[in-house]
Chain A
Amino acid sequence: MESFPMKTKKRSKIMSKTSFFSLFWEVKTILYLGVLLFSAGAGLIIYLNIDSIGHISIISLIGLACLACFYYTFRKSESFSFNEVISTSTWNDYILLLGCLLFLSLETYLQIQYTVFGTQFGTATLIPTLLFFLLAYRFDNKGVLSMAITGLAGWAGIAVTPREVFDGLDNFSDYSYIWTALALGCFLNSLVFGLQRINLKNHFAFIYLNFALHILFIAALAGLFSEVNHLLFILILFSIGGVYYFQARKLESYYFLLFIMIYLYIGITYIIFYLMFKAGAGLELAYFGFFYFIGSCALAVYLIKNHKSLLKI
């Protein structure tokens, strides 16, 4: 090995270039956990000492901390852009996140203590949702965007729930949830479509689509299992699969491909066995089942193995 004169030179070059040991992720993780623990702990302290501290001081304390976080983020972050903004500071994202969590605590506190929103739970959910959407777009923060979408889903769930549920009446049908979820998924999809038209934060598309994918498929499967109308939900299931197949091809996403296959497989397997049971199959069903699983899984493995041609990459 000593016969290569370049080696020592290269070695020293490599050595000098790479002698740093980066604590980037360690520091980030500690920071993130610290933020989570701090907001959880502060919430707990307030909850436990609600009698002795006094409401006004607690509210002003949280409010001030929350405002301070937002103020810091506004001052220190980069200006708004339609495209992805790479943050130069490690801190901004976390302080924004802390601010959002504190805002949630503040709102919950106000609602529980003073019932600011009365029984209008929809409004109570919608306010942080809208705020988080604005903040997510302003500061290009995917975490806050996820919180906003979760809030939106929660709002949709509350908005469609009939008042009777809260009043304890029993004339409430479960299927409204399925239709809401389907509508929400479609809304998120069209939102992505619209936002991509004007090229606003195209890198957010994956987060929207990811939420919508799971919401839509789970709703369609729930509809299928609830035996309202098999044909309708099979059609819905396949059309969702089709739409997402094109999305997967567009984004070259293996993740979407995998989940499309898993959800479709569950749906198809369910419907085939349902029909077999209905036809009154006995021991044949066991044989058929094994052959079905062998055949279908072999096909699935073949398709996934050839995902490149499937996604046309």
Chain B
Amino acid sequence: MITYNKKSLENLRLLKQAKVWKEKQLFSEPTFDKIQGTYINDLYTPNFFIRVGLFLFTSILISASLGLITLITFSDSNADVGLTFRILIYAIITGFATEMVIKEKKFFRAGVDDALQYATVGLFITAITIFIDSLNRYNYYDEPYYNENDNIIQVLAIALPILIFFATRYVDRLITAMAFGVLIYLIFDLVSNSGPIGKAVCPFAICLTTFLIYQLVKRYAYAEKWIIWKDNFNIIELLCLLTLYLSVNYFIVRELNAVLNNDYSSAQIPLAWLFYVTTATIPLLYIYFGVTKKDRLQLQLGMLLITFAVFTFKYYFSLGHHEITITLAGVFMIGVAWVVNKLLKTPKIGLTVNKDDLENEFNLSDAEAVVIAETLGKGSAQQDNFEFGEGNFGGGGSGGRF
């Protein structure tokens, strides 16, 4: 199912959490050593800057290699079908190289594997795009029928399962985000092109879809079984919340509506009051749920989206004086920061502004917690016969330094 060693990825997750706990002195040193011994991480994940360097040079390497192959083998006798096969072969080459590099060198988010993965996915999708496009252009009956929109839909519909497959296989966050984007675009395109009713319900359709995906992810995705895809689900969660808001934001709905109707200036939309309400309240709801459910993602996204809500209202109902708005916003924000700071000097209702409490956060429904708590229980039961393993947490030099 996935390219990486599943056990290693699981261990990586557990060790990450265990390290946080150790820093907060929930573990003693020997307990942590024991966890390191039990869950060995053999993956190579370097420092961020090293990853950037490796990614950069590997990307140039891939392009130069494929360029050289093209230069040697290219003849201009073959047309579109030949090009499709050529790119497909390149995709297979890079895909094979990805598997080799990951299996042999144990790279994980190390730049080299990222570059190869993106090359593979990109080439696959390019091949499909060219293939579908040539099919549509030179179709069987030689009719001059070519619909740009149909073409895009066909390409994306085939690209979606491929993206999902690679996102799962490579445990990659960017590919996951792309798959999500393609899905949302497909829904948007299909619904909004199905007559006037489709256009009208389009915001709600997308809103509902993202809400359902969000609920599914929240409810089922963080089980122990799916532990290695936790980052991917985090990304989906973020994108769901973001898309959910944007789909019912007044600015987006009004302007997209104008674009769909080919209007030059956007007119007032039906049900405007509803969109005013959603534009204003959803960010506040995110902040509220973020604080009460202790969900940092929702909280920060809510804070960000308030800016967008203010922009939306300023855009249509501006009194002109931007400088006063900016100054007042500044004063307001300093004020909010000051009040929150004052209120939470002594922690209240489980909230604090203390920096030391930052790393402590997790809820115990998390799969990591269950597994580690299990280990802890075992550890205290058989205190004397555990082995001090040679843990190499963090792989090759993932230090906090730069």
Q: Is there an interface contact between B323 and A44, defined as CB atoms closer than 8 Å?
A: yes
B193 at the interface (CB under 8 A from A): no
Contact A33 to B333, CB < 8 A, known contacts A23-B344, A252-B401: yes
Nearest Cβ distance between residue A211 and chain B, in whole angstroms?
15
Q: Is there an interface contact between A298 and B54, defined as CB atoms closer than 8 Å?
A: no
Q: Which residues does chain B contribute within 8 Å of A34, judged by CB atoms? A: 329-337
Q: Is there an interface contact between A20 and B333, defined as CB atoms closer than 8 Å?
A: no
Q: Is there an interface contact between B330 and A38, defined as CB atoms closer than 8 Å?
A: yes
Q: Is there an interface contact between B329 and A41, defined as CB atoms closer than 8 Å?
A: yes
Q: Is there an interface contact between B50 and A6, defined as CB atoms closer than 8 Å?
A: no
Q: Which residues does chain B contribute within 8 Å of A91, judged by CB atoms? A: 341
B2 at the interface (CB under 8 A from A): no
Nearest Cβ distance between residue A302 and chain B, in whole angstroms?
9
Q: Is there an interface contact between A39 and B330, defined as CB atoms closer than 8 Å?
A: yes
A56 at the interface (CB under 8 A from B): no
Q: Is there an interface contact between A30 and B326, defined as CB atoms closer than 8 Å?
A: no
Q: Which residues does chain A contribute within 8 Å of B344, judged by CB atoms? A: 23
Using an 8 Å CB-CB cutoff, how does the interface string of B223-245 with A read, 1 for contact, 0 for none?
00000000000000000000000
Q: Which residues does chain A contribute within 8 Å of B397, judged by CB atoms? A: 254, 307-308, 313
Q: Which residues does chain A contribute within 8 Å of B380, judged by CB atoms? A: 6
A232 at the interface (CB under 8 A from B): no
Q: Which residues does chain B contribute within 8 Å of A298, judged by CB atoms? A: 61
Contact A24 to B353, CB < 8 A, known contacts A30-B336, A35-B330, A258-B49: yes
B58 at the interface (CB under 8 A from A): yes
Q: In chain A, residues 1-57, which have Cβ atoms closer than 8 Å to a Cβ of chain B? A: 1, 4-7, 10-11, 13-15, 17-31, 33-42, 44-45, 48
Q: Is there an interface contact between A45 and B354, defined as CB atoms closer than 8 Å?
A: no
Residue of A nearest to B325 (CB): A41
Nearest Cβ distance between residue B152 and chain A, in whole angstroms?
34
Number of interface residues of B (CB under 8 A): 75
A268 at the interface (CB under 8 A from B): no
Q: Is there an interface contact between A23 and B353, defined as CB atoms closer than 8 Å?
A: yes
How many angstroms from the CA of A38 to the CA of B335 in the assembled complex? 11
Of A7, A13, A20, the contact of B354 (CB 8 Å cutoff)? A20
B197 at the interface (CB under 8 A from A): no
Q: Is there an interface contact between B65 and A22, defined as CB atoms closer than 8 Å?
A: no
Q: Is there an interface contact between A22 and B56, defined as CB atoms closer than 8 Å?
A: no
Q: Is there an interface contact between A41 and B67, defined as CB atoms closer than 8 Å?
A: no
Q: Is there an interface contact between A4 and B64, defined as CB atoms closer than 8 Å?
A: no
Contact A36 to B330, CB < 8 A, known contacts A262-B53, A290-B64: yes
Residue of B nearest to A269 (CB): B60
Residue of B nearest to A24 (CB): B355
How many angstroms from the CA of A21 to the CA of B355 in the assembled complex? 10
Q: Which residues does chain A contribute within 8 Å of B58, judged by CB atoms? A: 297, 301
Nearest Cβ distance between residue B195 and chain A, in whole angstroms?
44
How many angstroms from the CA of A22 to the CA of B352 in the assembled complex? 5
How many angstroms from the CA of A52 to the CA of B161 in the assembled complex? 64
Q: Is there an interface contact between A22 and B299, defined as CB atoms closer than 8 Å?
A: no
Q: Is there an interface contact between A90 and B341, defined as CB atoms closer than 8 Å?
A: yes
Q: In chain B, residues 293-338, which have Cβ atoms closer than 8 Å to a Cβ of chain A? A: 294, 299-300, 303, 322-338
Q: Which residues does chain A contribute within 8 Å of B374, judged by CB atoms? A: 1, 4, 7
Q: Is there an interface contact between B327 and A37, defined as CB atoms closer than 8 Å?
A: yes
Residue of B nearest to A290 (CB): B68
A274 at the interface (CB under 8 A from B): no
Q: In chain B, residues 354-368, which have Cβ atoms closer than 8 Å to a Cβ of chain A? A: 354-358, 360-362, 364
Nearest Cβ distance between residue B75 and chain A, in whole angstroms?
15
Q: Is there an interface contact between B61 and A293, defined as CB atoms closer than 8 Å?
A: yes
B217 at the interface (CB under 8 A from A): no
Q: Which residues does chain B contribute within 8 Å of A4, judged by CB atoms? A: 374, 376-378, 381
Q: Which residues does chain B contribute within 8 Å of A40, judged by CB atoms? A: 326, 330
Output the residue of B299, B322, B360 with the most chain A CB within 10 A. B360
Of A23, A37, A45, A313, the contact of B340 (CB 8 Å cutoff)? A23
Q: Is there an interface contact between B328 and A41, defined as CB atoms closer than 8 Å?
A: yes
How many angstroms from the CA of A7 to the CA of B379 in the assembled complex? 10
Of A253, A290, A308, the contact of B402 (CB 8 Å cutoff)? A253
Q: Is there an interface contact between B57 and A304, defined as CB atoms closer than 8 Å?
A: yes
Contact A7 to B377, CB < 8 A, known contacts A21-B352, A293-B64: yes
Q: Is there an interface contact between B350 and A20, defined as CB atoms closer than 8 Å?
A: yes
How many angstroms from the CA of A35 to the CA of B49 in the assembled complex? 31
Q: Is there an interface contact between B357 and A7, defined as CB atoms closer than 8 Å?
A: no
Q: Which residues does chain A contribute within 8 Å of B270, judged by CB atoms? A: none
How many angstroms from the CA of A31 to the CA of B331 in the assembled complex? 10
Q: In chain B, residues 375-397, which have Cβ atoms closer than 8 Å to a Cβ of chain A? A: 376-378, 380-381, 396-397
Q: Is there an interface contact between A18 and B24, defined as CB atoms closer than 8 Å?
A: yes
Q: Which residues does chain A contribute within 8 Å of B350, judged by CB atoms? A: 19-21
Contact A258 to B373, CB < 8 A, known contacts A26-B300, A252-B401: no
Residue of A nearest to B47 (CB): A254
Contact A20 to B357, CB < 8 A, known contacts A6-B377, A10-B377, A298-B61: yes
What are 20 contact pairs spanning A and B, CB under 8 A? A6-B381, A7-B373, A19-B350, A20-B347, A21-B361, A22-B356, A26-B299, A30-B303, A30-B337, A31-B334, A33-B330, A33-B333, A34-B330, A35-B334, A37-B329, A91-B341, A258-B52, A293-B61, A298-B61, A301-B112
Q: Which 7 A-B pairs have the closest CB atoms?
A: A4-B377, A38-B330, A41-B327, A34-B333, A37-B330, A41-B326, A293-B64
- Contacts beyond the supplied A14-B21, A90-B341: 14 A-B pairs with Cβ under 8 Å: A11-B373, A18-B357, A18-B362, A22-B355, A23-B344, A34-B337, A45-B327, A254-B397, A257-B50, A265-B57, A293-B64, A301-B58, A301-B112, A305-B54
Q: Footprint of B on A, CB under 8 Å?
A: 1, 4-7, 10-11, 13-15, 17-31, 33-42, 44-45, 48, 90-91, 252-255, 257-258, 261-262, 265, 286-287, 289-291, 293-294, 297-298, 300-301, 304-305, 307-308, 313
